[in-house]
Amino acid sequence: MIRRTVLVVLGLVWLGPAYLLIVNASRPATSYDPGRAWAPPGELALFANFATALESADLGASLAGTLLYSVVSPLLGVVVGALAGYTIVVLRLRHGFRWFLLIFGGTVFPSQMLLVPLFVGYSDAGLYDTRAGMILIYTAVNVPLAAFVLRNFYSGMAFSIFEAARMDGASTFRIFWRVYLPISTSALMAVFILEFTFVWNDLIFGLTLTQTAAVRPVMTALAGLMTDVYAGTPVPVGLAAGLVCSLPTVVLFLATQRLFARGLSLGSV
């Protein structure tokens, strides 16, 4: 009971700003007053604001591209990272900790500083403005996280699982694919969610490495609406743009909640 109460109270605090977001995105674009931002809107203009925001963005062309990156790159990243984690921990790769450090080390670089050299490298290699190039960079960015999470996840598992499968004559890759990947679904899903969100909301790599609408991230125009003073966008429209951008991620959260609901009972704490 105490646990529920604490969760509900904290949850309400967390929903406060979310309330501000929804209330103000629903306000008619012309009647926003930050001094009364908490007050419910007189009339609902959420869809009108959506429409205004979407009007400025050419979503059709680039939606497919962005969706492709945010699904394929995390998938590849999760598999590549999990395989590395599995090899290091379960297959006890020699100098495994060093290999792990090498892979995790990919996260320590400030990504802003990678942009210019990546752009130059991509244009030399013919990867600039290609979907393959985008998938490649997003996968690379996602690998260290996946490797870290799965490496540690597998380190908590009994070696006997591996031994038993090996005795049955399964190959090491088959064991990874048929045994280790399935038992780590929730970890894989958690990593996928984080990486999907990262790719979906990313502007820095997406803008620097692409040019044509079909390859570019879908959010450019919407993000521009929210930040550019020259656009003069009313706050409710900016917020509506923010909501539109967040929608796919929210859907993903809700659709995968069930995966994180299973598990053993810890008893009443």
Is 140 a residue that touches other proteins (CB under 8 A)?
yes
Instruction: By CB under 8 A, tell whether 114 contacts other proteins.
Output: yes
What six digits make up the tokens of 157? 């598992």
Q: Name which position in 45, 57, 165, 179 contacts other proteins (CB under 8 A).
A: 57
Tokens coding 133 = 């190039």
Q: Are 69 and 140 in contact (CB under 8 A)?
A: no
Encoding tokens for residue 47?
A: 């869809």
Only segment of 41-49, 63-71, 156-164 that touches other proteins (CB under 8 A) = 156-164
Q: Which of residues 225-254 bind other proteins (CB under 8 A)?
A: 225-235, 237-239, 241-243, 245-247, 249-250, 253-254
Helical axes 59-89 vs 131-155, angle rounded to 10°: 40
Residues 134 and 2: their CA atoms lie apart, in Å, by 48
Q: Which amino acid is at 150?
A: L
Which residues have CB under 8 Å from 169's CB, separation 6+?
none
Q: Is 244 in contact with 54 (CB distance < 8 Å)?
A: yes
Nearest-approach distance from CB 66 to other proteins, in angstroms: 13
The stretch among 42-50, 63-71, 149-157 that binds other proteins (CB under 8 A) is: 149-157
Of 145, 59, 67, the residue nearest 106 (C-alpha):
145
70 binds other proteins (CB under 8 A): no
Kindly identify the residues of this chain, within the stretch 172-201, that bind other proteins according to CB under 8 A: 172-174, 176-177, 186-187, 190, 193-194, 197, 201
Burial of 222 (0-12, 13-18, 19+ CB in 10 A): buried
Q: Which of 48, 63, 68, 106 binds other proteins (CB under 8 A)?
A: 106
Kindly determine how many residues on this chain lie close enough to bind other proteins according to the rule CB under 8 A: 155
Dist. CA 236–CA 220, nearest whole Å: 18
Of 47 and 212, nearer to other proteins (C-beta) is 212
Binding status of residue 119 toward other proteins by CB under 8 A: yes
First to last CA, the chain: 11
| DSSP symbol at 140 | H
Q: Closest CB to other proteins among 47 and 223?
A: 223
State which residue, 44 or 102, has the beta carbon closest to other proteins: 102
**From 42-50, 63-71, 80-88, span contacting other proteins (CB under 8 A):** 80-88
Among 6, 44, 51, 164, binds other proteins (CB under 8 A): 6
* Binding status of residue 74 toward other proteins by CB under 8 A: no
Q: Which stretch binds other proteins (CB under 8 A): 42-50, 63-71, 76-84?
A: 76-84
Binding mask 20-49 for other proteins (x = CB under 8 A): xx--x----xx-xxxx-xx-----------
d(CA 173, CA 122): 32
